[in-house]
Amino acid sequence: MDQSLSQAKPWEGQFAERIKTMRHSATRDLFGAAARDDMISFSGGMPDVRVMPEDVLRVALEGTIADKGEALQYGSTDGREKTKKIVVELMKELGVEHICPDDLIITSGAQQALDLIAKVFINPGDTILVEAPTYLGALQAFSSYQPNFKSVPFDDNGIRVDLLEEVLKEIGPRGAKFLYTIPTFQNPGGVTMALERRKRLIELCREYEITIIEDDPYSRLRYAGEHIPCLRSMDENVVYLGTFSKIFAPGLRLGWVLAPQDILGRINLAKQGADLCGSAFTQIVAEHYFEETDWKATLRDFIATYGSRREAMLEACEEYLPKEVHFTKPEGGFFLWLTLPEYINTDDMLQEALDRGVTFVPGSGCFADYQHNSMRLAFCYEKEEDIKEGIRRLAKIIAEHLESDKPQD
């Protein structure tokens, strides 16, 4: 065969339309940089898995070897019954009663659930409602399906239900395929939706017949304040996403979606084509972890660790950040959110920050529409003294930009 023919590229110009709307994650790219020894990382929402004791892991893996026949084999698309039973128990502790294993599907992290939900709901051009800012991974998952995003801002008490109502009036009943919200310790905002707002949100979505997608990865990681019930515990029509990533480990890629049967059946169908089934191996590791180890003690260690780091970051922000910078004061989760004067573009600061040994996530990636004067900081991964030093470095860069980028009158 003529090897030169091999130079032709038959795929050129052949990619699908949806490629054009797909969003790139700056955070993902930063994982490489964050791995450098001298780098202080505030970018990834990485649990500090160093907290996990080796002997605990050994118990889970010994159990997995005993179950090797099932652990190494294909499993069912919707996940293992036993894993789902553990999720049912976890949900009960969050006040979600009267559910059974058949009401949920185990996914490859909650991220896969986001992708599958988008896949079963979104036609190109359909409207979906998101918070502004919102989880960038959700924007990535959804944007592959070419929706029209409508954004609703939040304040320190969560989504602005008054502004949501305005949007709903504008689009009318069933005017959006769903509303996606992270009510508790929002990513990236760090804010938590107040109970009254939750009630009003549910009321509004009932009135306008909008399906609510509640993403709840962090609610067990509370370091201050009082527990607030999840939306799903207040309305069984809410589609709820959970994950083992923050209460066990993200490396297993285990999450779940709890949804009404009509929706769950479609998600299951979509999941067959997407991956046949998730990993039985990691599900079995998780089963032994939750059944045979004192996982609540380990979770308490996680909470103590993150709680101190949150304190350290809030203190450092108070001490070092210029007064023009607003930052949220999360009671749990992984993140706080900085809002800078409108003339600042945090995209422009990133390379500088990397050069000076600190990373953050520019806020622009977290908006469906482009907004550039904010950033997300994760306090979960670095030790207290490094958090202090990292904020000091960052504050210096910010201060310089406040001065140099100031528009001339």
The footprint of a second copy on residues 167-206 (CB under 8 A) is 174, 177-178, 199, 202-203, 205-206
**Site stretch for a second copy (CB under 8 A), options 104-112, 217-225, 294-302, 398-406:** 104-112
Of the pair 224, 276, the CB lying nearest a second copy is at 276
d(CA 405, CA 409): 12
Does 49 engage in binding with a second copy (CB under 8 A)?
Answer: yes
14 lies in the site for a second copy, by CB under 8 A: yes
Among 148, 237, 308, 345, binds a second copy (CB under 8 A): 237
CB closer to a second copy out of 223 and 289: 289
DSSP letters of 196-225? HHHHHHHHHHHHTT-EEEEE-SSTT-B-SS
Among 272, 318, 329, 406, binds a second copy (CB under 8 A): 272
Q: Which is nearer to a second copy, 64 or 373 (CB)?
A: 64
Instruction: Output the CA torsion 239→244→247→249 (10° steps).
Output: -150
What minimum distance in Å lies between the beta carbon of 153 and a second copy?
A: 23
- Residue 244 one-letter amino acid: F
The answer to whether 12 contacts a second copy (rule: CB under 8 A) is yes
- Which of 96, 104, 204, 285 touches a second copy (CB under 8 A)? 285
Q: Which of 58, 227, 296, 326 binds a second copy (CB under 8 A)?
A: 58
How many amino acids of this chain bind a second copy (CB under 8 A)? 101
- In whole angstroms, how large is the CA radius of gyration of the chain? 22
Piece of the chain touching a second copy by CB under 8 A; list 40-48, 186-194, 217-225, 365-373: 40-48
Sole binder of a second copy in the list 43, 64, 219, 339 (CB under 8 A): 64
Any contact of residue 125 with a second copy (CB under 8 A)?
no
> Strands (DSSP E) along 113-270, which ranges?
127-132, 148-155, 158-159, 178-181, 211-215, 239-243, 255-258
Q: Which of 43, 111, 187, 371 binds a second copy (CB under 8 A)?
A: 111
Exposure string for 54-76, b = 16+ CB within 10 A, e = fewer? eebbebbeebbeebeeebeeebe
Is residue 383 a contact residue for a second copy (CB under 8 A)? no
Contact 30, 43 (CB under 8 A): yes
For position 22 contacting a second copy by CB under 8 A, the verdict is: yes
SS3 state of residue 240:
strand
- Interacting residues with a second copy between 148 and 167 (CB under 8 A): none
CB of 33 to a second copy, least distance (A): 12
Distance CA 24, CA 243 (A): 23
Pick from 41, 43, 112, 364 the residue near a second copy by CB under 8 A: 112
Q: For residues 47 and 251, is the Cβ–Cβ distance under 8 A?
A: no
Site for a second copy in 344-363 (CB under 8 A): none
Nearest residue (CB) to a second copy, 48 versus 405: 48
Told to check if 5 binds a second copy by CB under 8 A, we report: yes
Q: Could you tell me which stretch among 4-12, 223-231, 290-298, 350-358 binds a second copy (CB under 8 A)?
A: 4-12
Report the residue from 184, 282, 305, 373 that binds a second copy according to the rule CB under 8 A.
Answer: 282
- Binding of a second copy at residue 44 (CB under 8 A)? yes
Residue 99 or 274: the one with the smaller Cβ distance to a second copy is 274
Cis status, amide bond into 188, omega within 30 of 0: yes
HEC profile of 28-41: HHHHHHHCCCCCEE
Measured in residues, the chain has a length of: 409
Cβ-proximal residues to 401 (8 Å cutoff; 6+ apart), any chain: 344, 348, 349
Interface with a second copy (CB under 8 A), residue from 73, 92, 329, 348: 73
Neighbours of 382 (CB within 10 A): 23
User: In which element (H, E) is residue 361 found?
Assistant: strand 361-362
Q: Which of 5, 93 has the CB closer to a second copy?
A: 5
Angle ∠(60,44,405) on CA atoms, nearest 5: 170
Report the interhelical angle of 384-404 vs 295-320 (nearest 10°).
40
CA dist., res. 358 & res. 368, Å (int): 26
Is residue 24 close enough to count as binding a second copy by CB under 8 A?
A: yes
CB of 66 to a second copy, least distance (A): 9
